[in-house]
Structure 1
């Protein structure tokens, strides 16, 4: 049966691989790609050979832009311009070289893109899903904060009150690359906390899972880094995919597609490390922190209680 999957982060890296794989393996999927720029060209490329792809332009750093995108997609679903919604993939992510980059809404840009944008899209589409459906949020094993998971390249998360994390300067020496990477790992821990909350709060039949692709050299994640770091990620680090310490883009994209298409078994609330569900860090299971974060992101994104009526199952 034809159905819709909404996806961010399909422009490059593992997202592009996953988008192609989803469309190839599931001809009934109508993929809605949400991208800041070039959405039309991306949709045209992915939609070759008659595959159904719809572009939606949105700046994930701007809450107004994300809110408008969610409303637009919801309207198309209501009018029957898109088939029933059965999936959302929040794959877009950003890592900056500092913790001082501020988005248009006054929020620290890493937190805005990696946490708030996903939350707005999930909440904006929540009552448009038709069961069974799956929400997949790309997270990171950097949230463990130990060498085995980050090889010393990314500092572990440093948790604080969510209102603090959402603003610039939340970490020591905020103008440094280390602070920017700390903001990244902390945002990914926050995303796992929210996956747990989604699993508890989303309507029955809508699963929520976090996906860890592992360390994937050669993606666009470090595009805001300096020239030496960008060169290393593009030209040197890809050799690590020949070892157990890194994952190729092809493998990471395939694992993401498997999860979206239901080929990987993962109960709601799971943390999926590449191809299998495993426990996330002990720190990530903190019910009080998760509730505090939920309340904060609801307030920061101005999510209202006025939701459209649930879509009946097809």
Structure 2
């Protein structure tokens, strides 16, 4: 049956590889890529040339207004029948800044805005358009463990605080340093797992939510906002680590992501998939109180943009575990 999968972060890195796998292995899929600038047109032309069905909508994921506009366009296209039924959302795009002081257009810290709020707003605005069985996949990171085995000493572990603090700049010690920016990144990925647990509780039966961890993937575009030395190391030195058990090559990470999206990797709703199998995330990532507090905060932060969507949008506010 023909269906639509909406995907962010499909224009480069593991997302680009995953997009190609999804379309090749599931010919009935219409992949709708949410991209920034001219990346969508290039992606559509290059992948579409192979005979796959792909289109794009523009959005800067750091802007909640852009996210709302993209979601509105997707809803309209679904309602008109221009897109087949919606069966998936893949929140793969990620942001890592060189500090914890970068503020987005809505006043939120940029890492939190992209890695947490953009995904949440997409889920909320599209939730009533999903046709079961459907799957939401949010790309997480093993940096959320905060230990040497998972981070190899390169990324500080998460430093959880009240969501109203995390959402603003300067939430961490030495916020003007790269360490501050990396702490914001690992903390945002912990937050993403918390929200996946909430989606699993609140979404209707047949709409699953899964967190996917690609592992350490050298050579991706994640360090594009880093300084020249860090970018050089990620491009030239770190790819060698893909040959060791401590890292995942881009091709494998993209294939694993496609496996999760297509359901080839068995993972019940609320799961954390570590590369190719469902596994336990960190002990810290299972905290119903934090999950509920983050849910409530994310609802407040995005309320003005969610309210401007079609009023028939579903309500998960009073959802309960299932």
Normalized against structure 1, the TM-score is what? 0.97
Corresponding position of 1:75: 76
Question: Matches of 2:313 and 2:178 in 1, distance apart?
Answer: 42
Q: Please state how far the C-alpha of 1:42 moved relative to its aligned partner.
A: 1.1
In the TM superposition, 1:129-278 aligns within 5 A as 129-278=130-279
Corresponding position of 1:18: 18
Q: Please state how far the C-alpha of 1:309 moved relative to its aligned partner.
A: 6.5
Q: Please state how far the C-alpha of 1:90 moved relative to its aligned partner.
A: 0.2
Q: Per the alignment, in what secondary structure is the counterpart of residue 114 of structure 1?
A: helix
Structure 2, unaligned runs of 5 or more = 316-322
Corresponding position of 2:46: 45
In the TM superposition, 1:102-117 aligns within 5 A as 102-117=103-118
Question: Matches of 1:32 and 1:155 in 2, distance apart?
Answer: 34
- Aligned pair count reads 310
The answer to whether the 8 Å contact 2:134/2:208 transfers is yes
Corresponding position of 2:102: 101
Corresponding position of 1:30: 30
Corresponding position of 2:320: none
1:140-181: per-residue Cα shift (whole Å, max 9, x none)? 000000000000000000000101100000001100000000
Question: Matches of 1:127 and 1:301 in 2, distance apart?
Answer: 17
1:167-216: per-residue Cα shift (whole Å, max 9, x none)? 00000110000000000000000000000000001111000000000000
Question: Matches of 2:106 and 2:22 in 1, distance apart?
Answer: 33
Higher alpha-carbon deviation: 160-169 or 297-306? 297-306
Q: Structure 1: which 4+ aligned runs deviate by more than 2 Å?
A: 303-310
Distance 1:222 1:287, change over 3 A: same
Q: Please state how far the C-alpha of 1:55 moved relative to its aligned partner.
A: 0.9
Corresponding position of 2:283: 282
Q: Per the alignment, in what secondary structure is the counterpart of residue 211 of structure 1?
A: strand
Q: Per the alignment, in what secondary structure is the counterpart of residue 54 of structure 1?
A: strand
Question: Matches of 1:137 and 1:49 in 2, distance apart?
Answer: 27
Corresponding position of 1:118: 119
1:241-294: per-residue Cα shift (whole Å, max 9, x none)? 111000000000000000101100000000000000000011100001100000
Question: Matches of 1:69 and 1:50 in 2, distance apart?
Answer: 25
1:105-126: per-residue Cα shift (whole Å, max 9, x none)? 0100000000000001111100
The answer to whether the 8 Å contact 2:127/2:314 transfers is no
Question: Matches of 1:236 and 1:309 in 2, distance apart?
Answer: 47
Question: Matches of 2:269 and 2:48 in 1, distance apart?
Answer: 30
Question: Matches of 1:95 and 1:259 in 2, distance apart?
Answer: 24
Corresponding position of 1:2: 2
1:49-81: per-residue Cα shift (whole Å, max 9, x none)? 321111100000000000110111011001100
Normalized against structure 2, the TM-score is what? 0.95
Corresponding position of 2:313: 308
The answer to whether the 8 Å contact 2:127/2:313 transfers is no
Q: Please state how far the C-alpha of 1:46 moved relative to its aligned partner.
A: 1.5
Q: Per the alignment, in what secondary structure is the counterpart of residue 57 of structure 2?
A: strand
Structure 1, unaligned runs of 5 or more = none
